[in-house]
Amino acid sequence: MFTKAIMTTMLTLLLTTAGFAAESASLAPRSAPAVAASTPQSIAPARAQAVQALPEAAKTAMPAVPSPPAKVRPNRAITISMFMVIIGVTLGVVIWAAKRTTSAADFYAAGGGITGLQNGWAIAGDYMSAASFLGMSGLISLYGIDGFMYAVGPMFSFIAILLVVAEPCRNAGKFTLGDILSFRASPKPVRAVAALSTVTVSLFYLIAQMVGAGKLMQVLLDIPYRVSVIGVGILMVGYVAFGGMKATTWVQIIKASLLMTGTVVLAVLVMLKSGMNPIQFFTDIVGNQNIQDHVRMNVLKDALPKPGFDYGQRFMEPGLFLKNPLDQISLGIAWALGAAGLPHILMRFFTVPSAKEARKSIVIALFINSSFFFLINLIGFGAALYLSPQLISSVDKGGNMATLLLAQKLGGGAGSIGGDLFLAFICAVAFATILAVVSGLVLAASAAIAHDVYVNIIKDGKADQQTQVRVARITSLFVGIAAIIMGLAAEKENVVALVALAFAVAASGNFPAVMLSLFWKRFNTSGVISGLLVGTISALALVVISPVMTYPQKIADDARKIVTTLEQKQAEGVVLAEKDLKALDKARADFQKNDGGTSMVGLKAAIFPLKNPGIVSVPLGLLAAILGALLFRDKRAEDMFDEIEVRQITGLGISKASDH
C-alpha cells in the first residue's frame, strides 16, 4: 500500500505540473519573431521589393518549397489518452515488481529468473533507444547515406557480444562491471574507477534519451522542453527506485514489442507510396528538388548551383555528415566494440539463469535489432522524400522529429483522424522507448555507485540486503537529477550523435578492460585502472575539441560566405529567387547571432578533426591497459586466472558468486 500510494502521488504531481505548464503555454501571448538586422550593411534591396520585382514567368518557375509548420500539432485528446495508457501500464508493472523486489539480487538482476527469450526482447528494448527511433531517422533524412552508417553499426556490435562477452560475463555471476573487473584485481581501487566509468558512459547515453524525451513531450503535451525533461526524469527515477531490474525488464519488453510494431507499419507505408519498388523509391529521392536544394544550400553551403553537379546523387553518397573517411572508420570501431562495454547491456547477462540462456538472449536481440535498424533507414529516407529536409529541420534543427512528422503525413496528414491516431501511437511508442532505456541506464549507474562504491568500498561488503536496496534507490534519485540537468543543457544536439559518443567512451575504456580481464593472464589492477582512465578521459577530451561540438564562429563564417555571394549577385543586378532570398535572410541572422562566439570549452573551431574519437581513443585505452599490466606485475592476479578461466567455460561457482 505504501508503494502504491507513492506511485499515485508521483503520477498526480507529474500530470498536475504538465497540465499547469500546458495551460500557461496556451495562454501566454505569442510575440512575433524579431527580424535580424542585416549584417554586414549592404546595398541589398529589401526582400519584399525583390520579390515584387520578379517577372511573372520567374515567379511561376520557382520550385515549390514546403511551408514548414512551427511545430508538430497532434490531436491533444488522442495523444494524451495514449500517453496515459503507457503511464498506467508501466506504473502497474512497477507496482507489481516492487512487491517482489526484496533483496539486492532482485534489485540488480531480477533474481536471475529472466528467460533467454524475455532477456533478448529486453536487451533489444534497452538498445533500440530514442536516439535510434528519433535521432537516427532524422540524421538520415538530413544527411542521407551518412545517417545510414549510424544505423548499420549497431547491427554488428552484437556479434562481438555474442562471440566474446556474453557467456564469460554471465559465468562470472556478478551484478556490475566492477564485479567483473575486480575478480582478479585489488577490489577497492578497481571498483572506484569502474564505477566512475560506468556513471560517465551511462550519463552520456542518458543525455541523448533526455533530449529525445524533452522534444517528444513538447509534441505530446505541448509543454516547454524544460518541464518535459523534468517530468520524464521524475518518472524514470520512480521506475528504478521502486521496481528495480524486474520492472525495468518488463517495461523494456513491452516497449520493444510496441516499437517494432510501429516501425514495421511506418516502413511499409513508406514503401507503399513507391509501389513497394526500392529502385523507384531511391530514384525519386535523387530527383527530388527539395533534397537537391537542401544538399546545396544547407549542407554543402553552395550559395549558387555548380554547373553539372548532381546534388540529389550527392545525398546518396557518403561524406555529407562524416566528411573525413577516417570518421567512418572511427564510428565503426566505436559501434562494433562499444556495445560490449555498455554497463546497462552487461548487466542484462546477470538476469538469466545460465550461460546458454545468455547466448540465446543475444541471438534474439541481434535478430530484432537488425530488423529494426534496417527499417529505420527506410523511414529516414522516406521522411526526406515525402516531407523534405527543410521542413524537418525547421521543426527541429537536429532532425529528431522526422519520424513523428512522417507518421502524421502517412496517416492522412495534420488534422485528419488517421494522421492524428498514427502520430499519437508513434508518440506513445517513442515515449515508452525513452522510459525503458532511461530506466536501464539509471539502474546501471545507481548499481555502480551503490553496489561498488557504498557496499564494497565504504562498507567492505558487509551491508545487509535492506541497506543495499535502500542505498541503490537513493542513488537512483541523484543519477536522475544529474541526467535532468545535463539533458537541459543539450537541448539543441542530435541525439544519435550523443549516443555514438557514449559508445566511443565505452569502447575506449570498458571494452579493453573487460576483454583483458577475462582472457589475459598477466592482466592486473594497474592494467584495469590505466585502461579505464586513459580510454575514458581520452575519449571525452577528444569529444569536447571535436567538430561534434557547436562552434558559433564557424556558423557565422559559413553564413558570411552565403551573404557575400548572394549580395554580390544582387549588386550585379541579378534578381534572386524566393528561396535564395530566404537563405540570405537566414544567413544574415546566423551571422549576427554567432559572430565572435565560442564552444562550451572556449574554442572558436575544432582542434581534433574527427567527429568520433574511437579510432584514437580505443587504441590509447588498449595500449594503456597493456602497458599498465606489464609495468606493474601482480602474482595474485596471475594465479587467479585459472579460476576465472574455469568459471568462464563451465560456470562453476556461479551460485556462490551470485549471492554477492
Within-domain flag for 556: no
- In 222-322, alpha helices (H): 225-272, 278-287, 289-293, 311-315
Averaged pLDDT for residues 318-343: 84
pLDDT value of position 220? 64
Q: What pLDDT does residue 65 have?
A: 43
Q: Between the CA atoms of 212, 215, 219 and 223, what dihedral angle is there, to the nearest 10 degrees?
A: 130
Residue 635 near residue 641, CB atoms below 8 Å:
no
Q: Is residue 24 part of a domain?
A: no
Q: Is 217 domain-assigned? A: yes
Higher pLDDT: 593 or 548? It is 593
Greater confidence (434 vs 562) lies with: 562
Is 16 inside a domain boundary? Answer: no
- For the chain, give the mean pLDDT: 79
Q: Where are the alpha helices (DSSP H) in 521-633?
A: 525-544, 552-571, 578-594, 614-631
Q: Contact 438/232 with Cβ under 8 angstroms?
A: yes
CA–CA dist 383, 402 (Å, integer): 6
Quick check: 315 pLDDT over 90?
Answer: yes
pLDDT value of residue 412:
87
First-to-last C-alpha distance (Å) of the chain: 30
Residues with Cβ < 8 Å from 384, sequence gap 6 or more? 140, 141, 142, 144, 285, 288, 291, 315, 392
Only one residue has cell 567527429, namely 611
Tally of CB atoms within 10 A around 423: 31
Quick check: is 644 in a domain? Answer: yes
- Higher-confidence residue of 71 and 361: namely 361
Is 572 domain-assigned? no
Question: In the predicted model, what is the mean pLDDT of residues 14-36?
Answer: 34
pLDDT of 39 reads: 36
What is the average pLDDT across 483-507? 75
**Residue pLDDT, tens place only, 561-582:** 889 988 888 888 888 888 788 8
Domain count, the chain: 1
pLDDT in the model for residue 154: 66
The answer to whether residue 8 scores a pLDDT higher than 50 is: no
Residue indicated by cell numbers 541523448: 208
pLDDT attached to residue 654: 54
With 60 as the cut, is the pLDDT of residue 34 above it?
no
Please report the pLDDT score of residue 484 as a whole number: 85
**Greater pLDDT, 44 or 423:** 423
Taking only the tens place, the pLDDT of each residue in 157-168 is: 777 777 777 777
Residue 310 lies in a domain: yes
* Bond from prior residue into 74 cis (ω within 30 degrees of 0): no
Q: Residue 635: give the domain boundaries.
A: 104-549+606-658
Query: Would the pTM of this model clear 0.95, i.e. be above it?
Result: no
- The single-letter code of the amino acid at 488 is L
Q: How many CB atoms lie within 10 A of CB 60?
A: 8
Q: List, for residues 253-312, the tens digit of each pLDDT value.
A: 998 999 999 999 999 999 999 899 999 999 999 999 999 999 998 888 887 888 889 999
Q: What's residue 6's pLDDT? A: 37
What confidence score (pLDDT) does residue 48 get?
Answer: 39
pLDDT of 428 > 70? The answer is yes
The beta-strand segments (E) located in 322-404 are none
CATH of the domain at 126: 1.20.1730.10
At residue 173, the pLDDT reads 58
Length of the chain: 660
Predicted confidence at residue 653, as pLDDT, reads 57
pLDDT of residue 657: 40
pLDDT per residue as tens digits for the range 216-243? 777 667 778 888 888 888 887 887 888 8
Q: Would the pLDDT of 554 be above 70?
A: yes
For residues 14-52, one letter each, b for 16 or more C-beta atoms within 10 angstroms of the residue's C-beta and e for the rest, the string is bbeebeebbeeeeeeeeeeeeeeebbeebebeeeeebbe
Higher-scoring residue by pLDDT: 609, 209 = 609
- The DSSP result for 260-284, as a single string, is HHHHHHHHHHHHHTTTT-HHHHHHH
- Position 417 pLDDT exceeds 80: yes
According to the model, what pLDDT value does residue 54 have? 39
Maximum average pLDDT range among 49-63, 124-138, 211-225: 124-138
The answer to whether residue 40 scores a pLDDT higher than 60 is no
213 has a pLDDT exceeding 70: yes
Q: Is the pLDDT of residue 29 over 80?
A: no
